[in-house]
Amino acid sequence: MEIDYTLLAEHAEVSGNKLYLMGGGWDTMNASEAPVTARVILAGGVRVEWDETNEPIQLVVRVEDEDGLELFRVDGQMNVGRPPNLLAGSSQLSQMVFSLNVPLPHFGGYRVVMIAGSGEAQVRKALPFRLAQVPPAPTR
């Protein structure tokens, strides 16, 4: 198993085994003040090998600050089956989207971490991003 990709986006959805993405690939979020509750969209693709199908696979998505303090966490499970027409030995891409409302307590660095599997089979991918302060608009 491996994590093929992870992306931060403004909008994402999976339909018909295709990822539809808008505003993807960002690494900076702007705000005029902190703390802020931010909407963070994570699109991820986990490639599952033939011998890992039809088994429950642990899935964790978490948001950490730059010191590794966990601020938000989603625990779940996925199970990728084998379609009848799949060639023996083939891997499959399982695509998913997470829409997270994350409390960000201060300006600075953060990361979204996606973890699939457990034990020796565990794989992870981290996406760094930052919350930057923008000056308030001038008043007239």
Domain that holds residue 18: 2-133
pLDDT single digits (tens) 72-131: 999 999 999 999 999 999 999 999 999 999 999 999 999 999 999 999 989 999 999 999
Q: What is the CATH number of the domain that holds 11?
A: 2.60.40.2550
pLDDT tens across 28-75, in order? 999 999 999 999 999 999 999 999 999 999 999 999 999 999 999 999
Instruction: Note whether residue 110 is domain-resident.
Output: yes
CA distance 22 to 99: 13
User: How many domains does one find in the chain?
Assistant: 1
Retrieve residue 74's tokens: 């989603």
Give a yes or no: residue 107 inside a domain.
yes
Q: What is the pTM of this model?
A: 0.91
Burial 118-138 (b: 16+ CB within 10 A, else e): eeeeeeebebebebeeeeeee
For residue 96, being part of any structural domain is answered with: yes
Q: In this structure, is residue 138 part of a structural domain? A: no
- Residue 139 — pLDDT band, cuts 50, 70, 90? confident
Could you tell me if residue 139 is inside a domain? no
